[in-house]
Amino acid sequence: MNDPTPVATPAFLRGLRQSVPFLVVMMPFGMLFGVLGTEAGLTMFEVVAFSLTVFAGASQFAALQMMQDQAPVWAIFATAMAVNLRLLMYSVALTPHLGAAPLGTRAVIAYFLVDQSFAQSIAEYTRRPEMTMPEKTAFFFGAVLPVTVMWFATSVAGAGMGQIIPPEYALDFALPITFLAMVAPMLRSRAELAAAVVSVAGTLALIRLPYGTGLLVAAGLAMAAGVLVENMTDRKAAP
């Protein structure tokens, strides 16, 4: 049987090259997570363990915010799961391309499935429908490798910085600003805008609910609003 490595190497290198622009974004976010993690009382070991076990920036920031609010574990877990629901849709979209890979390979892909690796991979698979399975998996791992290294390295660096930053600097304000910076560029369609408006309005209206449960309810309402607007838009566009 022929060794697929020489065939897959160019795809791996393409993934590496295409992921370079994401590093500019990953660096400040990784450092910010490390700094805020130590500001919230986590040790450097706990910050690193957090990134290793979760490896999902948005849900890590959400969980960190709720930890600062002293929410119960179940509420933190539910919030992180709600934020990560998009990864389920990513998995469905990648299944036609990577679903035939060995189980062990798919398990590793599932761990490294993040916004950047999904966006690059689905775009590459669409541009190059002739890619073989070894090429597709090689491209995916090439795309996610620099992002992974940068996230872990900057998280550790941020945690080190956070230990020497005086507590009176109070960097808590950076969390909501971070979420705004992450979400705002994604709001392109009417459905996404509707979901954003409903989520903000719902969160403010339900802010007095205990343990941040208003955020979970608002998230459900936002998703429902987004689906409703998208379905209405599709019906209007249909002949």
Q: Per-residue pLDDT tens for 57-73? A: 878 888 887 887 777 88
CA distances from 9 to 14, 108, 122, 147, 179 (A): 9, 19, 18, 18, 36
Highest mean pLDDT among 56-70, 75-89, 93-107: 93-107
Alpha-carbon gap, residue 5 to 15, rounded angstroms: 15
Three-state secondary structure of 131-195: CCHHHHHHHHHHHHHHHHHHHHHHHHHHHHHHCCCCHHHCHHHHHHHHHHHHHHHHCCCHHHHHH
Cβ contact 143:121 at 8 Å: yes
Widest Cα–Cα separation across the chain: 64
Per-residue confidence band for 148, with pLDDT thresholds at 50, 70 and 90 = very high
Q: φ, ψ for residue 174 (rounded to 5)?
A: -70, -25
Unique residue bearing structure tokens 């109070």 = 170
Q: Is the pLDDT of residue 2 over 70?
A: no
Alpha-carbon gap, residue 51 to 35, rounded angstroms: 13
Unique residue bearing structure tokens 């802010």 = 207
Unique residue bearing structure tokens 């890590």 = 60
Q: Is the pLDDT of residue 37 over 80?
A: yes
Alpha-carbon gap, residue 44 to 48, rounded angstroms: 6
Domain boundaries, the chain: 5-173, 187-239
Alpha-carbon gap, residue 83 to 131, rounded angstroms: 32
Of residues 105 and 161, the one with the higher pLDDT is 105
Burial of 97 (0-12, 13-18, 19+ CB in 10 A): buried
Q: What is the mean pLDDT of residues 118-147?
A: 91
Residues 151-168: pLDDT tens digits? Answer: 999 999 988 887 666 655
Alpha-carbon gap, residue 175 to 184, rounded angstroms: 14
Alpha-carbon gap, residue 121 to 128, rounded angstroms: 10
Cβ contact 106:98 at 8 Å: yes
Cβ contact 63:175 at 8 Å: no
Q: Is the pLDDT of residue 83 over 80?
A: no
Cβ contact 67:175 at 8 Å: no
Average pLDDT, the chain: 82
pTM here? Answer: 0.72
Q: φ, ψ for residue 188 (rounded to 5)?
A: -120, -30
| Token output for 34 | 């490390």
Burial of 34 (0-12, 13-18, 19+ CB in 10 A): buried
